[in-house]
Structure 1
């Protein structure tokens, strides 16, 4: 088994979170001794309590990863790992890049330079949706690749407007590719698998769980050169993406909104904190012109 397949195998083992895999790769960069270490040796290497270590060890020696890979291939799902040369450069630069990405669709979109994340509330106002529809087509016309999280509300609208305009879009799921969530966006997801790119760090058969969405947000911002926040409440998952973007050294843009609207409190606060106020597509285009 080659190092890439070993990493994917490791990624499917219960208990093998990001830090656990990092600890393993640090002592064995090519995973050459992955299947020969004893339980006692693993105990000294991985930061896991005994119950999780037992699950990890059991999965390590019982999972049939080649069978899973055959299933993924049948479903046209591609696997991209940190061992692959084509792993996205921008994503590689973040503090905790995903060890494995599972993808379906136009893989070549990961090579695009003008990547912009668009995120926002799941309950947008007429104003927020109207502003998105006014700004986004002009960005698509300028060859921006739009990245979002396939969630209800602003995320779904950003993907749909981009597709309707014949543009390029990448969706980052919280759960696995074979367990699309939310169900209302299954049709959108299927369209994106054909015309855009859908990806996830979660193995394809796993259902979405609440903890996966904040973790997913670092990938949305990590793949992007900047993040545009359309509408966000004061405490929301959208602001987690904006915070991740700042930590990753990405630019954050925000749409100003009605001071009486709860959906604009988060974006107005971002602007007060230094995010670039966006009124038109040109405001973002100018910033991107300076990046290149």
Structure 2
């Protein structure tokens, strides 16, 4: 494995987690990632549009890690590292803008190959309205073997994961940080459970901590993995609407739970309906809509 493309890609990604597009761009300059050791920091910095000091550090660290077998290291921690070049890399993710160069996963890795996935998102201060809506919407999805995908954040994400588990289904959590970290703290128990019985994935190497700007970036993975997107509650300005925009750009169906016109958490969802999202109030209705407007069978 030492000389394989996968291992070289993992080594580079561990040092500096570049997205796949930048790695492709790098491979227009060099034919093999090991040639990175022979580049000057100036040329590398110009080619990748990064600081020269960062480029120098990348070259030095890549050289020092030549004898490191990262796949063995990840296996020791029960982490699956799936490079873009691997046959196990999810095909749907290859279709998103700027796909991750590597996916790090912990738990039931076979869930990534499931054909039916539904992203479920909403406010981090979701009310019992979201919880009650999911009681109607999630069970029919589970009956049809849909995997529920969400971001393992508090609020609607947590409710979505818990609903999938409660009704005997499967769920994938997409993190905005590395697998050695758990965030938010109130989800620690759920996070541990999912790494043992469900699946948690991230595009960041295990050591990477929580950074605010990572969370909008991970939203493209949530929508990218999924066949469609379901939104429960959302304010007019929220990360939920960013994810919705990504899903629309990816050509995904967007389903929205209509909300109370007096609630701030319904202003975003009701606006989505006005703009053409599909209003849903029953899981069987959502499945019928999917069958009508998508390739769902």
Fold conserved (TM > 0.5)? Answer: yes
What do residues 152-182 of structure 1 show as CA deviations (whole Å, max 9, x unaligned)?
0110111111111110111101111110111
User: Of 115, 118, 124, which aligns to 1:116?
Assistant: 118
Instruction: Tell me if structure 2 keeps the 8 A contact 1:16–1:56.
Output: no
Match of 1:187 among 189, 194, 213: 189
Q: Which one is further off, 232-241 or 133-142?
A: 133-142
Query: Which 10-residue stretch deviates more, 13-22 or 160-169?
Result: 13-22
Asked whether the equivalents of residues 258 and 264 of structure 1 are also in contact (C-alpha less than 8 Å), the reply is yes
Partners of 2:19 and 2:129 in 1: CA distance: 40
Residues 123 and 155 of structure 2 are in contact (CA less than 8 Å); yes or no, is this contact kept in structure 1?
Answer: yes
Q: TM-score, normalised by structure 1?
A: 0.93
Stretches of structure 1 that go unaligned for 5 or more consecutive residues are: none
In the other structure, the counterpart of 1:244 is 246
Q: Is contact 1:173-1:199 (8 Å) kept?
A: yes
Q: Any idea what the Cα deviations from partners look like across 1:1-58, whole Å, max 9, x if unmatched?
A: 2111111111122474555323213444653523333334424432112233233333
The answer (yes or no) to whether the contact 1:163–1:195 under 8 Å persists in 2 is no
Structure 2 contact 176–215 (Cα < 8 Å) conserved = yes
Q: Tell me what 2:222 maps to.
A: 220
Alpha-carbon spacing, 1:31–1:56, altered in 2? closer, same or farther (3 Å): closer
How well do the aligned residues superpose, as a CA RMSD in angstroms?
A: 1.9
What TM-score, normalized to structure 2? 0.92
Q: Secondary structure at the match of 2:38?
A: coil
Whole-angstrom CA distance in 2 between matches of 1:149 and 1:31:
32
For 1:33, the equivalent position in structure 2 comes to 35
Alignment size in residue pairs:
292
Q: Which residue of 2 aligns with 1:175?
A: 177
Q: 2-side partners of 1:58 and 1:30: how far apart?
A: 16
Give the Cα–Cα distance (whole angstroms) in 2 for the partners of residues 116 and 215 of structure 1. Answer: 19
- C-alpha spacing 1:17/1:55, structure 2 compared with 1 (3 Å): farther
Q: Is the 8 A contact 2:104 2:201 kept in 1?
A: yes
Q: How does 1:193-232 map to 2 (within 5 A)?
A: 193-232=195-234
Give how far 1:135 is off: 1.4
CA distance in 1, matches of 2:229, 2:146: 12
> 1:206 aligns to what SS in structure 2?
coil
Residue 77 of structure 2 is aligned with which of 69, 75, 91? 75
**Could you tell me whether the CA contact under 8 Å between 2:147 and 2:171 is conserved in 1?**
yes
Corresponding residue to 1:257 among 250, 256, 259: 259
Distance in 1, matches of 2:174 and 2:66, equals 26
**1:55 counterpart residue number:** 57
Give the secondary-structure state (helix, strand or coil) at the position aligned to 2:148: strand
In the alignment, structure 2 segments of 5+ residues that lack a partner are none
